[in-house]
Each structure stands twice: as C-alpha cells, then as structure tokens.
C-alpha cells in the first residue's frame, strides 16, 4: 500500500560519457572556492585518469601514467594540486596538477597484484599515511607520505589464513590520535589493526566470501561491508576494541563492489553487480532508493565534498563506460 | 372499552371507594374534583386499602375514554402523586399478598394491564401534555425500582415465615417485556438484582422464580450481563422450564440472527457454566452444526444469518471440554465434511471464506493429533467474525489467526511512520536480475512460449509480452489469433508470482490490438469442449477488460499511462471481481440518480469509442449458446458459477457499449436472457442478472427501450419489485431497488420531456 504511494526513483542529474572504458574509481574535489569549479576525477580500465569539469560536464584534462593498465584508486592531497593514482601496473603515482601542470613527480611501486585499493589518512600538515597491500600477499604496508618511509607492516599471525587484503580503511578516533586500520580480507573477515603497535585488535568473520568493500564511521564506531554475497554486513566496535556484527541486510541480488558512507553519516550508497545503486539510511539501514540506470556492473560510488550540503552529489561509475551523477537526500 | 364491562369485577371494591369519596355527579365513581390521594394516609391512617386507590386510578382508564377536561387534569395529578410516592409498589405488594390467598384472576389481569399500559393510556389521552413521569423512558425504570421494593418486602415476609406469591410481579415484568420496554425496566432491575443475589440465597431463589414465571422470556436474555451473572440471576431455568429451553436453543440461535456477539457469548457461556446445563450446550452445537452443514440453509439463508451461526459455533467450540469433544468427534467430523462441501460450492466469496474459517477451527479443535485442515487463503475480510470482547482463553484458531494478521498489519503501518526522516522512493522495481534477454519480436515470443523449456527466457517473455504487443500493432495483427490461442492454453510451467496477471494482460493487449478475430476466437472457445472452468472464466475476464480498454477514450500520448494503472476490473483469482464490476455500475447509477450538488466534470479527452464497431462480436456469440449443455460444460446445471460470471460479463459489455449502434439490440437480447434465468436459485447469478438490467437501463437509449421492449420492461419491473421485497440475499435486494430507482428516473424523464 505504502510502497505504491512512494515516489518513483529519480533520474540521474546528468551522465558523463566518454571514458571509453569501464570506470573503476571516482573522486570528487568540490570544496574549493569560486572561480574554481567543482571537478571529478575518474580512473578507468584503459589506464587513464580523467578530470571532469562538473560545470561543463566535459573532460578538462586526461592523465596517462599507468601504461594502459587499469586505474582503480585516485585520491587528492593538498587540495586539488596533487593527486595519487593507483594502477594495475603495480605503481602508485603522485601527480602534480598545480598551475596547469600534469606530470608524475613521484611514484611508489607495489609488488601486489591484487585489486586492493589503497587508503589515505591526513595526519598533519603535509604528512599523510597511506595503507597499501604489501609484497607478501597477506600483508598490509603503511607508508608515510611524502617521505615514503615505512611506518609498519601488518602481518597476520601464522595460521590465520586470511588470504589477501581486499579493502582498506585508515581512520583515527580524533585528530592527532593514534591511527587504526580496518581491513577486509579474502576469507570474509574484517580486522581492526592498531598501527602504533602493529597488532591485530579484533577479527570479525562477517562474510563467507571475500570482502569487496568496507567503510567505517569513526564517530558512531560502526562500519559496513559488502562482499560477493547477497548481504550487507553492519558491524560495530565496542569500547574494548572488539568488532561485533550489528546487523545484516539481505539484498535482492548478490555482489557489492563498493560501499560508501556520506560524509554527514546520514546515508550510504552501494555499487552492485546487479547494475543498481542502492541508498540506505545509515542510522537503521533503512532502504531508501534503488537507482536502476546502468546497464552493467557498477564499480564504484562516491559522494562529493561540497561544502554546502544541498549541493552534494553522488557519482557512480560502471562497466558500461558511464558515470552517473545523482542528487539525493541533500535537503537538510 | 366499555365502561360497564370494565367496572364489573370491581363492584366489591367500589363500596370501599364510595366510603372514601361519595359520588357527586352523574357519571359515578370515581370523583375527580377535589379528590386527592393522600400519600401514606390513604391506606395507613384511613385504614383504606391501597388497592382501592389503585382502583380509582384504574377507573380513570374508563373515565378517560368518556370525558376529558378538568376532571382529566385532576385525575392525572392524582395519578402522578400515586406513582411518584410509591403507589405502584404498594399496589403490587398488595396483589402479591392477595395472590397468596387466591384473589380474583380477572382483577389481577386488569391490574396488570393498567400498571403496564399506564404510559400508553396517558399519552393517548394527553397527547402533548403528558407529564414527564409517565413517559416510558421514565416510567419503566421507576417501575423497576418499585418492583425491587416489592421483592424486598416479599423477601422480608418470606424470612418472617409468611407465604407470598411472586407471580404477579413476574407477570408485570413479562408484560413490560412483551411491550418492548425490557431495556428500560431491566436497566434498573438487573443491577439491583445482581447486587442482591450475590450472597443471599433467598434473593437468588426469588430471582429464579421471578424469571421463571415471565411468560415470554426471550427479552430477558438480552440484558447483556456476563455469563456468571446470568447464571446467578436465572439459575437452572433452561433445564426446568421447557419454554426457556426453547427460547435458548432454538429461538435465540436458529430462528433469528440479530443478537450482538456479546450476547451470544453470554448466553452460551451461561449454558457452559454449570454441569447440569452442559448437555444443552452440546445439543445447541449439534443443531447449529446441522444448520451449518445443510446445503439448503447455505443456499437460501442470508449471509448475515450464516455469519451469526458461525459465530455461535465458534463460541460453543471454545466452551467444549476435551472429553465432550472426544465423545462427539465423529459426529462433528461428518458435519464438517458436509458443511465444507456446500460452503465451498457457494458462489459468494464471503460464504466460502466463512465456511473455511469455521471448518479450520473445528478441525483444529477435534484433531488433537492428526493432520489439521488448513486453507491457504488469506482471512483478512473476516475480522468481523470475531467476537470483540473475547474473554475466553481457548478461542478458535481462525479467530486467533485473524487477530495475528490484524496485529501484524497494524504494526507494519506504524513502522513506516517511525523510521528516519528520509522518505524512501518506490523500490518495487528492485527484482532479481535476469541474465537472459527477452525476445524483441512477437513471433519469437510465440516460439519461446510454445517451444522447449527455457525457464528464464520463458519468464522474460511473459514479462515483456504486453509491451511488445502494444508497440507492434501491425506485427501482432498478423499472428493475433495464434497468439491468443497460445496464451489461452498457456500453463504455468514455472512459478512466477504474477503469472495470471501477466497472461491476462497479454491476452487483453492482443484482443485490443485486433478485436474482431480475437473476440471471435475467444467467444467460440468459450462454448467449446475441453476447457477448464478457469479458462472459460479467463475468456470472460479478458473480453470484459478488453471492452473497457477499447471504450476508454485515450489520448495518443497517454496510452502507456493507462496500461500502467491497474485496470478497473481486476479479475484475478482471489480478488472479488464482482465487487469491482458492481462498483462501476453503482457509480454510474449514482451519477444518474442523485444530483444534489453540481460537480464540475474533469475535462475528458475526446476520442472515438473503438468498442463501438466491434461490440457485437464480443457480445452476441457469448449470449447465444448458454442454454445448450455440453458434455463438459453445463451452464444451467452445475457450472452456475460461470453462469454468474457470464451474466456479469454481459452486463459489463453492454455497459461499455453505451452510445453505440448495437446497444439497443444488445439490450433486447440481454433482457430475454435475464427473463429466462430470473428464478435461478443461486444468488450470485441473480446478482449478475440484476446488473444486466442496470446496464440495459443505463446503456440503451430510453426511446429505444420504449419502442422495443416496453412490455418486457413492465414485466421486469414487477419481478424487480418482487426481488426487492423477498430475495433472501441483501445484495440482490439492493440491486433490485437500484434498478427500480433507475426505472423510476426513466419514467420521470419521459414525463418531463415534451411529447
């Protein structure tokens, strides 16, 4: 009864075409003031990073630094002047984009051949931590940027049989506090690592299949993870640093390739193998919308960092070469 | 009333009255002017019998009939004083004492009459100037308290060892009940008695005796007291008194159906409360079950009565002990089997549902270990079956189910209001992702549907078929009949939750795209061999829906919208389609009959009625062969359910053919059809016929009605009047009444028009 009275789901605000390849990663940079325009970085399977002007909806610049190998993670540092991109060529490139430049100034090479995306955390002015898969297949390495010195290597105890790390999320309880890492592994478990001690604090087996993506809300000490199964798992971290399953949410179709909580912690979006984007209320995991636009697997979802909440956007990149931009639940 | 006859038995008393007040005018006794009844004094001090006073008031009854005026006013004053100051109780007490010494029965009879009918007499006489105390709503409660006082005196005298008769009080009570004032008098009497009988056994005995002597007891049961109170007030009345037994076991339960559920609970609870009465409970249940399982009762008694009996059965069941069930298990079982058969046979969904609920409940009660009868039907509409204040713990399963369903639906409603502040979008399209691609051409669809099994492709085809047909008109027309044939014979190879709906939509789309050949095909199949009833009804539904679709004015760009909306007539298994059909007709009737306020009509899109040119192809083949039974299909025999559907469908077809050339001919044929079947025993068929009459009156132009079928109309009117008055089915009566109203309108319209 009520379902029939509900509004039909909205259409995308606009669609960005022209990547000419499946889109694997998206990252907004919309915080800067006028006359600078909001931009969106996209990384695609053809090894290109494209910079989209969200005013004109056109590509402003294309960065080619991964030798035609798929780019599956991009992230800005220092505003939009510098960009990190991770590619299947086992390299993480640091781009200098200031004053119209576009050149790789530095790079870190990885030995990992997995699909694990890196995670970046700003520790102080001009000091970042980056977590990335290490040489050993089941290890995670944390480096300090820009010095590239190794902070720690997180190695599971022998016999843990976690498999490869699949997704990483660096976080800290408050600015300046000791950083932690949430990592999802191939065997379906999520692990909380303490970086200063390099020690595993808690392990939660919340999936049967590899954890494809996770996000963590440090304020509510609650996180969400998706795998190739039909469920989303919501878990929480108690004061004794133990992870516990909070609830699971059954989905219609299996496979989640990305999950992201919006910065204001009100909603979260998932990218599904069933071509659909799903929106949930973060408080109770109340299903809010199913956006059925793409015609192939959705690889990534990302929320914009507009300083005005009403302008906030959601972008989704798909195997169908399209990036859809949505405006949802941003009237506060 | 003749004064002489009335006064005769009072001769003896008249002397005493004369002593009190000598006659002054020619009329004789009693005297009005200056007469006054002295409270207390009259019988205590003057040593005058209160009966005398009463006789004087009794005499007024005679007096009233002869001379109104001043005397009347005076008499009323005296009467008021008499009543106000406890005269009634004194009077009754006196009679009770007298009665113990055998007083004259005639006198008692007259007194009884006067006491009870006083308000009637006075209001007849005084009309608008009646005193408030003599209004029934005041008088009878007063009489109630007076009776309590008399009973108090009687109980005192019984305690003192004196013999007293209570029968006069009983008679008063009984007569009041006969006069229909039980509510007023019991409203004061019952609470007092409930209180007094709580611990006093003399009072209890008196109370039992009081009720026992009441001549017509049915009204007593309506006091609305709880079972234990009833038991205290009435004792073992039903066992001792044949009449009371008849009232409880027959009159209350089988011969009427107006009592509220609470009362049923009380009365049956009363039977169950004492071991000496329990045999009656079982007897009652047996009789109820007999009625419930009788096919004639199911067929001919109104739905309301069947609901009433079902309620009574459920209540009885809840009172039965396991031992009692053990000894009657076989009997109950036989009844359930028989009853189930005739309930499921009924064409009315309510009756079927009712039967299922009762059977489920009985089965769950009698089968303690074996399998339980269980229907996979949603029992949503039967909440009304439930007795509201169910104080009994072990209640029938059906009832519990209803409660659960009710609770669940409620909680769901609340859930939607109490979550986050974000309003969810419609997520109904979020279905499982299908890998296979649906076919793009109609011919491919036919291939998939008739070809080898490919489950996913098959389902994808079903889902896309309606849209494909609507988009590719020309391609569909090439294969329309073939496609209709495939769809009509299509079986649900795999489970799709809305298979029936998809198939129906596709069939409707084919029919709309290529009306004439497909309608010809479908109507010819309706009367051919080797179809199931389900398929035949599908044909009817499709024809009705297609007629609606064709007749609906459709803007060129909006065709998609209309197909998205759920069709007006949704004829799917489980849904009560006849309701929807009737709603259309009802709405139409409403719009035609009463216009208190002018409603500005929504601007409608103008388009030619596409049904106009093809209506005949839909209608006439259907109406032609209904009286020719086939081996597998006998409309006039067992398959009366399909006949009912056919009647409804014909009504719909004619309704949608309004303003078309064929309407007049269709109306004439339909009227003959109705006439042939008008005495059908099945109420669903009769409802269909009445809908046909409505359609005819609405769709056929009135001048054509007058020209072609005026005689038939007059006959029909007589039949309608008969149905409106006598039909056991409430819906039939209502429809007939609406039809009569339509005819009346037609008549006034013709009279108003210049000839």
Of B414-418, B450-454, B732-736, the poorest mean pLDDT is in: B414-418
Phi/psi class of residue B180: alpha, beta or left (left: φ > 0; alpha: ψ in -120 to 50)?
left
Residues 6+ apart with CB under 8 A from B602: none
Burial class (CB in 10 A: 0-12, 13-18, 19+), A53: middle
Residue with tokens 């990592």: A183
Q: Between the ranges B93-97, B118-122, B618-622, where is the mean pLDDT highest?
A: B618-622
| pLDDT greater than 60 at residue B418 | no
Task: For residue A92, give how far its alpha carbon lies from the nearest alpha carbon of chain B (Å).
Answer: 36
User: Which of A9, A274, A281 lies nearest to residue B422, judging by beta carbons?
Assistant: A281
Q: Between the ranges B65-79, B476-490, B695-709, where is the mean pLDDT highest?
A: B476-490
Q: A288 at the B interface (CB within 8 A)?
A: yes
Supply the angle between the helices B442-450 and B455-471 in degrees, to the nearest 10: 150
Nearest CA in chain B to A279: B424
List CB contacts (< 8 A) between B570 and chain A.
none
At B21 the pLDDT is 40
Q: A287 at the B interface (CB within 8 A)?
A: yes
Contact present, B425 and A289 (Cβ < 8 Å): yes
Note which residues in 219-258 of chain A have CB less than 8 A from chain B. 252-253
User: Which of A253, A275, A288 lies nearest to residue B424, judging by beta carbons?
Assistant: A288
List CB contacts (< 8 A) between B420 and chain A.
281, 283-284, 286
Indicate the DSSP class of residue A29. E
Task: For residue B452, give how far its alpha carbon lies from the nearest alpha carbon of chain A (Å).
Answer: 27
Note which residues in 9-48 of chain A have CB less than 8 A from chain B. 9-10
Closest listed residue to residue B607, CA positions, set B659, B544, B530: B659
| pLDDT greater than 60 at residue B59 | no
| pLDDT greater than 60 at residue B628 | yes
User: Which of A6, A252, A266 lies nearest to residue B426, judging by beta carbons?
Assistant: A6
Strands in A149-154's sheet, in edge-to-edge order, are A119-124, A127-133, A140-145, A149-154
3-state SS assignment for residue B598? coil
Determine whether the interchain pair A290/B430 forms a contact, defined as Cβ–Cβ distance below 8 Å: yes
Q: What is the mean pLDDT of residues B35-42?
A: 41
Closest listed residue to residue A284, CA positions, set B177, B416, B358: B416
Q: What is the mean pLDDT of residues B84-112?
A: 75
Contact present, B65 and B6 (Cβ < 8 Å): no
Q: Which residue has the higher pLDDT, B8 or B666?
A: B666
List CB contacts (< 8 A) between A287 and chain B.
424, 427
CA dist B239 and B247 (Å) reads: 12
At A282 the pLDDT is 92
CA dist B659 and B667 (Å) reads: 12
Residues 6+ apart with CB under 8 A from A24: A43, A44, A45, A70, A71, A72, A299, A300, A317
List CB contacts (< 8 A) between B429 and chain A.
9, 290, 292
Contact present, A23 and A318 (Cβ < 8 Å): yes
Name the pLDDT band for B603 (thresholds 50, 70, 90): low
At B185 the pLDDT is 80
Mutate to test the interface with B, among A280, A283, A287, A290 (most CBs of B within 10 A): A290
Please list the residues that pair with A276 across neighbouring strands.
A292
At B52 the pLDDT is 42
Task: For residue B131, give how far its alpha carbon lies from the nearest alpha carbon of chain A (Å).
Answer: 58
Closest listed residue to residue B373, CA positions, set B397, B406, B393, B345: B397
Burial class (CB in 10 A: 0-12, 13-18, 19+), B140: buried
List CB contacts (< 8 A) between A274 and chain B.
433
Q: What is the mean pLDDT of residues B405-410?
A: 37
Task: For residue B753, give how far its alpha carbon lies from the nearest alpha carbon of chain A (Å).
Answer: 47
Determine whether the interchain pair B433/A3 forms a contact, defined as Cβ–Cβ distance below 8 Å: no
Within B552-662, residue ranges assigned H as helices are 559-564, 577-593, 615-624, 640-656
What element of type H or E holds A132?
A: strand A127-133
Q: B429 at the A interface (CB within 8 A)?
A: yes
Structure tokens at A246: 């909070």
Q: What is the mean pLDDT of chain B?
A: 75
Q: What is the DSSP string of A164-230?
A: SEEEEEEE-SSTTSPPEEEEEETTSEEEEEETTTTEEEEEEE--SS-EEEEEEETTTTEEEEEESSS
Q: Which residue has the higher pLDDT, B407 or A31?
A: A31
- Other C-beta atoms closer than 10 Å to the C-beta of B60 total 24
At B74 the pLDDT is 79
Determine whether the interchain pair B426/A274 forms a contact, defined as Cβ–Cβ distance below 8 Å: no
Q: What is the mean pLDDT of residues B731-751?
A: 89
Note which residues in 615-654 of chain B have CB less than 8 A from chain A. none
Q: Between the ranges B47-51, B55-59, B443-447, where is the mean pLDDT highest?
A: B443-447
Closest listed residue to residue B293, CA positions, set B377, B365, B359, B348: B359
Determine whether the interchain pair B422/A253 forms a contact, defined as Cβ–Cβ distance below 8 Å: no
At B376 the pLDDT is 66
Determine whether the interchain pair A288/B416 forms a contact, defined as Cβ–Cβ distance below 8 Å: no
Determine whether the interchain pair A289/B432 forms a contact, defined as Cβ–Cβ distance below 8 Å: no
List CB contacts (< 8 A) between A289 and chain B.
424-425, 427
Determine whether the interchain pair A9/B425 forms a contact, defined as Cβ–Cβ distance below 8 Å: yes
Residue with tokens 């009543």: B83
| pLDDT greater than 70 at residue B40 | no
Q: B497 at the A interface (CB within 8 A)?
A: no
Q: How far is CA B496 from CA A267, B145, B335, B492, in A?
A: 34, 70, 38, 8
Structure tokens at B361: 């409940």
CA dist B232 and B228 (Å) reads: 6
Q: What is the pLDDT along chain A (332 residues), one digit of tens a residue?
A: 344 467 888 999 999 998 999 999 999 998 877 777 899 999 999 999 999 999 999 999 999 999 999 999 999 988 888 999 999 999 999 999 988 889 999 999 888 888 899 999 998 888 999 999 988 888 999 999 889 999 899 998 888 888 999 999 999 888 778 899 999 999 999 999 998 888 899 999 999 999 999 999 999 999 999 999 999 999 999 988 899 999 999 999 999 999 999 999 999 999 999 999 999 999 989 999 999 999 999 999 999 998 888 889 999 999 999 999 999 998 76
Q: What is the mean pLDDT of residues B459-488?
A: 90
At B50 the pLDDT is 41
Q: B411 at the A interface (CB within 8 A)?
A: no
Indicate the DSSP class of residue A265. S
Q: What is the mean pLDDT of residues B116-136?
A: 80
Contact present, A13 and A30 (Cβ < 8 Å): no
Determine whether the interchain pair A286/B422 forms a contact, defined as Cβ–Cβ distance below 8 Å: yes
Within B248-347, residue ranges assigned H as helices are 261-273, 278-292, 295-300, 303-319, 322-344
Phi, psi of B608 (to 5 degrees): -65, 145
- Asked whether the whole model's pTM tops 0.95, one would answer no
At B263 the pLDDT is 82
Q: B430 at the A interface (CB within 8 A)?
A: yes
Residue with tokens 């409505």: B694
Q: B11 at the A interface (CB within 8 A)?
A: no
Nearest CA in chain A to B413: A2
Nearest CA in chain A to B421: A281
At B554 the pLDDT is 62
Q: How far is CA B723 from CA B590, B714, B717, in A?
A: 20, 14, 10
Name the pLDDT band for B20 (thresholds 50, 70, 90): very low
Note which residues in 135-164 of chain A have CB less than 8 A from chain B. none
Name the pLDDT band for B566 (thresholds 50, 70, 90): very low
Q: Between the ranges B144-153, B424-433, B647-656, where is the mean pLDDT highest?
A: B647-656
At B752 the pLDDT is 79
Please list the residues that pair with A184 across neighbouring strands.
A167, A190
Q: Which residue has the higher pLDDT, B494 or B15?
A: B494
Task: For residue B338, give how far its alpha carbon lies from the nearest alpha carbon of chain A (Å).
Answer: 38
Q: What is the 3-state secondary structure (H, E, C) of B47-101?
A: CCCHHHHHHHHHHHHHHHHHCCCHHHHHHHHHHHHHHHCCHHHHHHHHHHHHHHC
Reported as a single tens digit per residue, the pLDDT across B520-534 is 999 999 988 888 888
CA dist B641 and A47 (Å) reads: 70
CA dist B73 and B80 (Å) reads: 10
Determine whether the interchain pair B430/A7 forms a contact, defined as Cβ–Cβ distance below 8 Å: no
Contact present, A300 and A25 (Cβ < 8 Å): yes
3-state SS assignment for residue B452? coil
CA dist A257 and A273 (Å) reads: 7
Strands in A276-281's sheet, in edge-to-edge order, are A256-261, A267-272, A276-281, A286-292
Q: Which residue has the higher pLDDT, B300 or B399?
A: B300
At B43 the pLDDT is 38
At B102 the pLDDT is 61
CA dist B459 and B495 (Å) reads: 9
Closest listed residue to residue B231, CA positions, set B189, B180, B202, B266: B266
Instruction: Kindly provide the ipTM of the predicted complex, given to two decimals.
Output: 0.84
Q: What is the 3-state secondary structure (H, E, C) of A83-130?
A: EEEEECCCEEEEEECHHHCCEEEEEEECCCCCCCCCEEEEEECCEEEE
List CB contacts (< 8 A) between B432 and chain A.
252-253
CA dist B614 and B215 (Å) reads: 69
Q: B428 at the A interface (CB within 8 A)?
A: yes
User: Which of A9, A276, A286 lies nearest to residue B419, judging by beta carbons?
Assistant: A286
Domains of chain B: 70-218 (no CATH), 221-381+388-405 (no CATH), 610-754 (1.25.10)
Contact present, A12 and A57 (Cβ < 8 Å): no
Name the pLDDT band for B567 (thresholds 50, 70, 90): very low
Q: Between the ranges B35-44, B222-231, B724-733, where is the mean pLDDT highest?
A: B724-733
Determine whether the interchain pair A2/B416 forms a contact, defined as Cβ–Cβ distance below 8 Å: yes
Structure tokens at B296: 């004639």
| Residue pairs between chains A and B whose CB atoms are closer than 8 Å | 58
Name the pLDDT band for B234 (thresholds 50, 70, 90): confident
At B9 the pLDDT is 33
| pLDDT greater than 90 at residue B268 | no
Name the pLDDT band for B572 (thresholds 50, 70, 90): very low
At B754 the pLDDT is 59
CA dist B650 and B383 (Å) reads: 33
Residues 6+ apart with CB under 8 A from B752: none
CA dist B306 and B291 (Å) reads: 9
At B239 the pLDDT is 79
Contact present, A250 and A231 (Cβ < 8 Å): yes
* Per-residue b or e along B516-536, where b marks 16 or more CB atoms closer than 10 Å to that residue's CB: eebbebbbebbbeeebeeeeb
| pLDDT greater than 90 at residue B10 | no
CA dist A34 and A307 (Å) reads: 12
Q: What is the mean pLDDT of residues B461-465?
A: 88
List CB contacts (< 8 A) between B426 and chain A.
3-4, 6-9
Determine whether the interchain pair B422/A10 forms a contact, defined as Cβ–Cβ distance below 8 Å: no
Of A101-105, B359-363, B457-461, B606-610, the poorest mean pLDDT is in: B606-610
Q: B393 at the A interface (CB within 8 A)?
A: no
């Amino acid at each position: 009864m009520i379902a029939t009275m509900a509004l039909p789901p909205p259409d995308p605000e606009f669609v960005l075409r022209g990547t000419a390849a499946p889109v694997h990663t998206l990252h907004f940079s919309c915080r800067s003031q006028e006359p600078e325009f909001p931009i969106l970085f996209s990384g695609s399977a053809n090894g290109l990073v494209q910079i989209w002007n969200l005013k004109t909806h056109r590509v402003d610049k294309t960065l080619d630094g991964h030798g035609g190998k798929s780019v599956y993670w991009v992230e800005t540092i220092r505003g939009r002047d510098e960009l990190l991109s991770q590619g299947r060529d086992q390299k993480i490139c640091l781009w200098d984009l200031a004053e119209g430049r576009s050149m790789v100034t530095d790079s870190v090479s990885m030995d990992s051949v997995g699909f694990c995306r890196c995670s970046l955390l700003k520790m102080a002015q001009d000091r970042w931590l980056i977590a990335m898969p290490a040489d050993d297949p089941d290890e995670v390495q944390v480096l300090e940027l820009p010095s590239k010195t190794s902070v720690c290597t997180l190695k599971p105890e022998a016999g843990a049989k976690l498999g490869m790390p699949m997704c990483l999320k660096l976080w800290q309880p408050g600015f300046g506090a000791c950083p932690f890492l949430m990592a999802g592994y191939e065997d379906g478990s999520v692990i909380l690592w303490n970086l200063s001690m390099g020690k595993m604090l808690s392990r939660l087996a919340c999936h049967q299949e590899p954890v494809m993506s996770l996000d963590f809300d440090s304020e509510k000490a609650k996180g969400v993870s998706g795998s190739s199964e039909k469920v989303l798992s919501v878990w929480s971290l108690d004061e004794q640093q133990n992870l516990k399953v909070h609830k699971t949410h059954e989905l219609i179709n299996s496979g989640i390739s990305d999950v992201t909580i919006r910065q204001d912690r009100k909603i979260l979006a998932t990218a599904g193998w069933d071509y659909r984007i799903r929106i949930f209320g973060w408080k109770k995991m109340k299903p809010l919308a199913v956006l059925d636009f793409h015609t192939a697997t959705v690889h990534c979802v990302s929320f914009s960092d507009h300083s005005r909440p009403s302008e906030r956007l959601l972008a989704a990149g798909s195997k169908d070469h399209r990036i859809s931009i949505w405006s949802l639940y941003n009237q506060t | 009333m003749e004064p002489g006859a009335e006064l005769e038995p009072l001769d003896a008393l008249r002397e005493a009255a004369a002593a009190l007040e000598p006659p002054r005018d020619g009329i004789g006794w009693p005297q009005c002017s200056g007469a006054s009844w002295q409270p207390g004094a009259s019988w205590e001090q003057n040593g005058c019998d209160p009966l005398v006073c009463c006789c004087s008031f009794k005499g007024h009854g005679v007096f009233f009939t002869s001379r109104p005026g001043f005397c009347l006013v005076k008499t009323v004053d005296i009467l008021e004083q008499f009543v106000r100051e406890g005269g009634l109780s004194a009077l009754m007490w006196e009679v009770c004492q007298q009665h113990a010494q055998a007083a004259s029965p005639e006198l008692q009879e007259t007194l009884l009459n006067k006491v009870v009918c006083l308000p009637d007499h006075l209001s007849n006489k005084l009309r608008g100037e009646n005193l408030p105390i003599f209004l029934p709503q005041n008088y009878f409660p007063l009489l109630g308290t007076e009776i309590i006082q008399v009973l108090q005196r009687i109980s005192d005298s019984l305690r003192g060892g004196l013999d007293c008769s209570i029968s006069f009080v009983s008679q008063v009570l009984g007569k009041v009940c006969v006069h229909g004032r039980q509510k007023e008098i019991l409203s004061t009497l019952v609470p007092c008695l409930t209180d007094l009988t709580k611990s006093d056994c003399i009072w209890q005995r008196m109370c039992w005796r009081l009720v026992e002597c009441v001549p017509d007891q049915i009204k007593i049961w309506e006091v609305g007291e709880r079972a234990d109170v009833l038991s205290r007030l009435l004792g073992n009345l039903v066992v001792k008194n044949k009449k009371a037994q008849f009232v409880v076991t027959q009159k209350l339960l089988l011969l009427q159906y107006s009592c509220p559920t609470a009362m049923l609970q009380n009365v049956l609870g009363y039977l169950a409360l004492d071991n000496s009465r329990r045999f009656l409970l079982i007897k009652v249940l047996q009789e109820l079950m007999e009625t419930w399982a009788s096919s004639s009762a199911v067929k001919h008694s109104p739905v309301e009565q069947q609901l009433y009996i079902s309620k009574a059965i459920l209540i009885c069941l809840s009172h039965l002990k396991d031992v009692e069930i053990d000894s009657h298990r076989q009997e109950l079982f036989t009844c359930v089997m028989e009853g189930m058969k005739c309930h499921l046979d009924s064409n009315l969904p309510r009756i079927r549902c009712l039967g299922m609920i009762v059977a489920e409940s009985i089965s769950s009660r009698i089968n303690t270990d074996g399998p339980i009868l269980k229907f996979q039907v949603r029992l949503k509409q039967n909440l009304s079956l439930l007795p509201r204040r169910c104080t009994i713990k072990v209640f029938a399963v059906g009832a519990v189910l209803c409660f659960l369903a009710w609770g669940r639906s409620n909680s769901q409603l609340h859930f939607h209001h109490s979550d986050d502040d974000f309003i969810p979008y419609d997520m109904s399209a979020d279905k499982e992702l299908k890998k296979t691609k649906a076919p793009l051409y109609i011919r491919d669809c036919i291939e998939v549907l008739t070809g080898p099994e490919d489950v996913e492709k098959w389902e994808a085809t079903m889902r896309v078929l309606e849209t494909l047909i609507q988009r590719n008109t020309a391609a569909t027309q090439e294969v329309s009949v073939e496609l209709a044939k495939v769809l009509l014979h299509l079986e649900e190879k795999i489970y799709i939750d809305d298979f029936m709906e998809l198939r129906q939509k596709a069939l409707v789309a084919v029919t709309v795209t290529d009306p004439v050949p497909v309608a010809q095909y479908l109507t010819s199949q309706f009367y051919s061999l080797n179809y199931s009833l389900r398929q035949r009804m599908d044909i009817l539904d499709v024809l009705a829906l297609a007629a609606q679709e064709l007749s609906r004015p459709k803007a060129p760009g909006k065709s998609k919208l209309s197909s998205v909306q759920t069709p007006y007539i949704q004829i799917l298994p489980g849904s009560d389609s006849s309701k929807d059909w009737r709603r259309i007709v009802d709405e139409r009737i409403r719009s035609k009959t009463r216009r208190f306020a002018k409603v500005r009509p929504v601007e409608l899109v103008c388009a030619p009625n596409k049904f106009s040119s093809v209506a005949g192809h839909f209608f006439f083949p259907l109406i032609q062969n209904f009286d020719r039974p086939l081996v597998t299909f006998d409309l006039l025999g067992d398959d009366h359910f399909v006949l009912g559907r056919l009647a409804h469908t014909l009504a719909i077809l004619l309704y949608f053919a309004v303003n078309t050339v064929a309407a007049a001919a269709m109306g004439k044929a339909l009227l003959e059809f109705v006439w042939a079947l008008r005495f059908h025993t099945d109420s669903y068929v009769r409802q269909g016929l009445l809908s046909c009459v409505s359609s005819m009156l609405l769709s056929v132009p009135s001048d054509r009605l007058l020209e072609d079928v005026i005689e038939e109309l007059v006959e029909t009117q007589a039949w309608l009047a008969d149905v409106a008055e006598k039909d056991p089915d409430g819906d039939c009566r209502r429809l007939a009444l609406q039809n009569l109203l339509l005819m009346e309108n037609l008549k006034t319209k013709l009279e108003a028009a210049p000839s």
